[in-house]
Chain A
Amino acid sequence: MTVHVRIPTPLRRLTNGERVVEASGADLAEAIADLDRRFPGIRSKILDDRGEVLRFVNIFVNERDIRFLSGLATPLTEGAEIAIIPAMAGG
């Protein structure tokens, strides 16, 4: 599956300034692995050593928080929108 990944400002250094990039994979973990092949180093900015999503990173697939889906095992459909967003809230 080819998906679109929205890159937050702090990571755009790694994507040559691109704000939306493509990646492919059947699930989110695969897409992140593919992303890291295209933009080396990006994986370690999103996941920790154990392969878990960092505490201050939230990932959304089609605008839904992956913690309400299947986490990194969330399956991806063709053209899915992935957003990587700093965890921050407070109204």
Chain B
Amino acid sequence: MAVAGLVCRECGQHYPAEALYVCEQCFGPLEVQYTHDDLTGPALRAQITRGPASIWRYQEFLPAARVPEWDLAPGFTPLLRADRLGQVLGLRHLYLKNDTRNPTWSFKDRVVAVALAAARQFGFGVLSCASTGNLANAVAAHAAKAGLRAIVFIPMGLERAKVLTTTVYRPTVVEVEGTYDDVNRLCLEIGEEHHWAIANVNLRPYYSEGAKTLAFEVAEQLGWQAPDRVVVPVGSGNMFVKIHKGFEEFQALGLIPPKSVRMTAAQAEGCGPIATAYRNNSETVTPVIPHTVAKSLAIGSPADGGYVLDLARRTGGTVESVTDEETVEAIRLLAETEGLFTEPAGGVTVGVLKKLAAAGAIAPDEVTVAYITGIGLKALEAVEHEIPAAITISPTLASFEERVLARV
């Protein structure tokens, strides 16, 4: 596929493939449009499997060309069978997409890699973003690799490790007094006035295409077929929408058989405007002021909320939310059953999975994939007071037998 241009998702207006992101007619979001070439089905499948073990094996489906010397090789992360967690939840075909295995330990490396490639194409010298933390990590690391200046904007009060794991790459880190939604508004205004590559603003049409690779990989790893259901953590809703688009593109080009994947969105109750709209049968997402342990999902005014509602309803999925307490419990459950330590967003995902399974909303035989998109190490605050302390002993056999053996 080759990039044909940009098209407004709302009114269909066409634009050239430039650093544009909003429709001049209706303010709708712009999306990349491709021209399809002859390569489909088995030939395309063969080309993909010959490709690198990263998102760039799907180059055909991405809107900017890989820059070899800038490549941190994100993606192609493991899809793990989760039999022990499945047993607890009563699900027989449960899988986890372990996207903590990325260069900066979250799925954001996928989207930033594509944004960076687009930034090169358009000749930007500064890479920037509005971030809840993970995106700032990815932007800072990718800019370092590329030798570009990075200026990242984050809200006050992020997890300490998320700030540190960004700062170490030496970007300019700007902490904004406000919530993510304030940061986002500011970056939109900065984007209007300054010629910077703001990954999730003026490069958004390109950037967001990177999230399709989360669907491509799962389909390939399941033996070239889509799962019955996916459970996806939702803040802005962008990843959710793009995962769906990924499955659709693979079907359209004959890489996988047609199937409607049940799109299931997981939100934190303390920032669940889409879940609230879903419950109320509303088509309008009313913004909220976030208050949740899942800071990477703390987006109170989710721009893609309407699309998430539509997809969840149309595909037989749902939008559900869990409390902070259920989130932390789910982080521990995932760690204890599957050896995978997720950040709170993954706790929200597993918590929602558990809630839906318990309610019988997911059939035991459904092939279900839960996306774990960020690592627990960046958000230790969420669990540090919940987990038991180590047993301290003196270095003697007697102490070991008295304090340890007696307890285990």
| Interface of A toward B, CB cutoff 8 Å | 6, 8-10, 13, 19, 45, 54-58, 60, 63, 65, 67-68, 83, 85-91
Contact = CB atoms under 8 A, between A and B. Distances in A.
Given A56-B22, A83-B185, A91-B132, 10 more contacts: A19-B193, A55-B306, A56-B303, A68-B289, A87-B301, A87-B303, A88-B21, A89-B181, A89-B236, A90-B304
How many interface residues does chain B have, given as a range? 35 or more
Interface of B: 10, 21-24, 26-29, 129-135, 180-185, 188-189, 192-193, 200-201, 204, 208, 235-238, 286-287, 289, 296, 299, 301-304, 306
Contacts of A90: 200, 204, 208, 235-238, 299, 302-304
A83 B201 CA distance: 17
Nearest to B238: A90
Contact of A63 (B21, B24, B185): B185
Contact of A91 (B28, B188, B189, B236): B236
Nearest to A11: B24
24 contacts: A10-B23, A54-B26, A56-B27, A57-B27, A58-B301, A65-B287, A68-B287, A68-B289, A85-B185, A86-B27, A87-B301, A87-B303, A88-B21, A88-B22, A88-B188, A88-B200, A89-B184, A90-B200, A90-B204, A90-B235, A91-B133, A91-B134, A91-B135, A91-B183
Contacts, number: 94
Contacts of A91: 129-135, 180, 183-184, 200, 235-236, 296, 299
Contacts of B185: 58, 60, 63, 65, 83, 85
Query: Which A-B residue pairs are the 8 nearest by beta carbons?
Result: A90-B236, A91-B132, A56-B27, A10-B24, A90-B238, A86-B22, A89-B303, A89-B236
Contacts of A19: 192-193
B174 to A, nearest CB: 14
A91 B184 CA distance: 8
